[in-house]
Every structure is written in C-alpha cells, then in structure tokens.
Amino acid sequence: MKNYDDFAEEVFREADRRLALKRKRAAVIRQYTLAFASMFAIILTGIFVIKNETVREALEKKFNAQNIITDESSVTAPPTNTTVPDHGSYEPEITTEVFTSPPDGIRNTTAKPAASTTAAKTTTTAKTTASHSPVSTTDANTSYISVTSTRTTARNYVSSTKTSTVTVSKTTHTTATATRSTKTTATTSRIYVTSTTGTRTTVTTQNPLTTTSGGTFTTTIHDGTYLTSTTFSPSASTSWATKTTTTITTTSTKTTSLVTYTVSSTTTSVPQTTAVTQPLYPDIQLPAETADPSGNTTVPVNYRCIGELSADLQLGSKAGETTIYSGGVQYVCDVYSLAGSSLLDYAVIYIREKQEWLIYMSFIT
C-alpha cells in the first residue's frame, strides 16, 4: 500500500498528464472545428449567393449579362451536320502600275550626256604602241584587226575595256583603216590605220582625237606574223589631240604579209559632271564566216560577218541602214562595198546603241 504522499503524487502526476492530453486534444479539435467552420461558411455563402435572386440580379446588371438564359425551355439544340456554303473561288485582283519614269530615289542609269558637251578642260594624251601578235596565219586570206578600247573616267564612273576584232579576208590586204568615234564627242575621231604593203604602216588620225568625257582611249593594232619591228612616229607620248597623223613603221620580211596592228592611244581628260554609263565601244567580234567567194579585189566585195552584239547594241550597215539587228542576238551582217573612192573601197559596219551610232569599221578592200 502506498503512503499518502506517494499516492497523492501519483494522483497529481496522472491528473496533469490527462490535463495536458485534454488541452492538446482540445487544441486539435479547435483547429479542425475552425477549418470545417470556414469551409462550411464558404459553402453556405456560395449557396446563398447563388440562391439569392437579388444578388444574382445585381451581378447581371453589373456585368451587363442581359442574355442570361433563365428559361431553359427556350434553348434549342445547336444544328448538327452544319455545312459551309460554297462561295466559289476568289481571284485576287492584281493591279499593274506602269512607271513611265523612274520612281523617286532611283537613279536613271541610262541618262546620257548632252549631245554637245564641251569639256571645261581637256587634256588628251595618246599613246600608240604596236606589238607583234603572231597569228598562225596558215590561211593567207585572213588577217586580223583587233581593236581594244579602254576608257576610264576620272571618277571611276565607268571602267571598261572593250575589244573588237575584225577579221578581214583579203589576199592582197595592204591597208586597214579603223575609224572610231567616241560616244561622247561631238566630232568623230577617226584613226586610220594604213598598212602599206610590205614594210610600212601608217596610222593616221583623220581628226584630232578628242574626247570630252574623259577617260582612256586605247587602240591596238596587231601586226602579223611576219612583222619584225615597229616604229612609231610620232612617239607614243605624243598627244594625239594635236596630231593628225601617226605613222607606225614596221618591217616585214614579206611584202604580202597579212598583218594586224595594234594601235594604242591613251586619252585623258578632266571628268565631266555627267556620268557616262555606257561603254565606249561595244563588245563586238566580227569573224568572217566566209571569205569573198570571188577571192579577188573586184569591187564591190561582199563580206559576211557573224558575231554577237551586246545586249544594248544594234548593228547595221551604213548603206541605207537597211539591216538593223537588235542587241543580244547573233547577227549576220553583209558588208557591202561602198563606191566612190578609187583608193579606198571599204565597207563599214555600223554599230549603234539605240539611236546613236557608236562605231563603225571600215574594211578596205
């Protein structure tokens, strides 16, 4: 039997344990009660709000929900198997606007300089060179004239090098004259390359070689296989602007040589204010397709040249301009002999760009 103190102590200890447990249990119950009460209050509030017509009307008015369907009997089922009507195909309207002039901001690249533009200051230097360009001329009836033209504007608006090679078939070919005109000069500058039989070639400028658009003008005449030396008169540095004749003396071992000559001239001038966009000379090659069927010097002699013009050039003949070929196509040009000169019977091929003749070549027959 326990004594009173131990008994009382045990009573109090057990009582305290139960009280603590009771308090803990009460706290838990209080928390659960609070949670359930909150949830229950929310549910009750929701039910109350939904059921309350006054609140519902207020909500409808607030959100302008005028189309709330309260009578479900008036609601009809949506149509089933709805098909979309065929409205046919629609063709978009395409409008085309034709510009007659370049839009603003686009530079007209085809602008041409004035027809009679005069350079404020012109400094022209000519350099004439002649060099051998051996050609295996097994065909005695073939000679070559290769014309290389280079023109560079001071402002580098245009830098182009064009080479024209004309093959002339002539057994007794002694003289070739290349006549050139610059696009921008008012007067045509011509260089006559006269090849004397055998040993002498004379390059003659018919008019002072002037150019008003600036740049470099190079003409090259290749001599033939048999030329061994070439001298120039005047010297290569002589300005062609003041010379009318430049003589190139060559020495050939054969009097009947078929020669091609290279005449180079350099022309420099101050740049013009107007940009020149077109090349001075077209890229043209006129190989002879067939030689003169007759094979003699009888005048007239017809030549047929075949070549291809650049896209913006046309080819025609001076004699009445009866044959005009558009650029970019292969052309067959009959070269007619022109009467009127006892010394020089020549045919001229004209190449023109649009309405302006750029170059023509004369073939001395």
Residue ranges binding other proteins (CB under 8 A)? 1-2, 4-5, 7-8, 10-12, 14-15, 18-19, 22
245: nearest Cα among 313, 187, 194, 287: 194
CB of 32 to other proteins, least distance (A): 23
| Nearer to other proteins (CB atom), residue 10 or residue 139 | 10
| Nearer to other proteins (CB atom), residue 18 or residue 30 | 18
CB of 17 to other proteins, least distance (A): 10
| Nearer to other proteins (CB atom), residue 22 or residue 155 | 22
289: nearest Cα among 344, 331, 352, 336: 331
235: tokens are 């010297």
CB of 27 to other proteins, least distance (A): 17
State the residue for tokens 């002498």: 200
State the residue for tokens 């290389």: 148
Task: Say if residues 186 and 116 touch (Cβ distance below 8 Å).
Answer: yes
CA distance 13 to 16: 5
Task: Say if residues 129 and 263 touch (Cβ distance below 8 Å).
Answer: yes
| Nearer to other proteins (CB atom), residue 29 or residue 329 | 29
CA distance 285 to 293: 21
CA distance 186 to 189: 9
| Nearer to other proteins (CB atom), residue 21 or residue 65 | 21
CB of 65 to other proteins, least distance (A): 59
228: tokens are 């061994």
Burial 222-258 (b: 16+ CB within 10 A, else e): bbbbbbeebebeeeeebbbbebeebbbbbebeeeebb
219: nearest Cα among 189, 175, 197, 198: 189
| Nearer to other proteins (CB atom), residue 23 or residue 354 | 23
CB of 14 to other proteins, least distance (A): 5
CA distance 183 to 312: 14
Quick one: how far is CA 354 from the chain centroid?
20
| Nearer to other proteins (CB atom), residue 10 or residue 321 | 10
176: tokens are 């070739």
Longest CA–CA span in the chain (Å) reads 170
| Nearer to other proteins (CB atom), residue 16 or residue 356 | 16
CB of 29 to other proteins, least distance (A): 17
- 198-246-215 Cα angle (round to 5): 130
CB of 5 to other proteins, least distance (A): 7
| Nearer to other proteins (CB atom), residue 15 or residue 186 | 15
